[in-house]
Amino acid sequence: MKAVSYMTYQEKKSIVSLISSILIFAAYCLYKYPQYPEGVMESKEIFHYWGSFVLVLTLVSIAAHIVISIIFNIFFRMTTGEKEPSFADELDKLIDLKAFRNSFFVFILGFLLAMGSLNFNQPSKVMFIILILSGFLSDVTGSLTRLYHYKKGV
């Protein structure tokens, strides 16, 4: 019996999730970063800017991921004639746990770096940039871990 090699639903979904995370983050940063209040030193305005940066980015990411996931499922059904899995079984849960562990590790590393930057008297801007980047990288790490384990096994 010849083994048929193709990408499974989960592999495709991990790739879509990875690409959409990168695109959403890049597009949002390009839109929002020019609005940074230049010339203002550690003021309320700066903290307001970073607060809104993180909150809006979180909301935009969630909304975009939901929309992209719906579009992906429709596209998947149309192209393969197959329905997407409606539940997560033991393999999915195991891979999710591994992805969460790696993603958490990256975020904690970023968090410690961000705190370290304050310790070394860096401006708050550096701390916020490291925090936001670590959030983004932890998301990417999660998607890459999922892709790796769905492809290579657990």
Partner 1 sequence: MSKSLVGNYIRKLRFDHNEMTQQQLADKVGVTRQTIVALEKGNYSPSLELAFRISHAFKLPLEEVFFYGENSEER
Interface ranges with partner 1 (CB under 8 A): 1, 3, 8-10, 85, 87, 89-92, 148-150, 152-154
43 vs 80 by CB, closer to partner 1: 80
The H or E element that residue 60 is part of is: helix 44-80
CA 126, 28, 125: angle at the middle one, nearest 5?
10
72 vs 150 by CB, closer to partner 1: 150
- Structure tokens that stand for 99 in this block: 């992805």
CB of 102 to partner 1, least distance (A): 14
CB of 75 to partner 1, least distance (A): 18
**Structure-token match 């370290």, residue found:** 116
- Structure tokens that stand for 34 in this block: 């020019």
55 vs 154 by CB, closer to partner 1: 154
Other CB atoms within 10 Å distance of the CB of residue 118: 13
CB of 105 to partner 1, least distance (A): 18
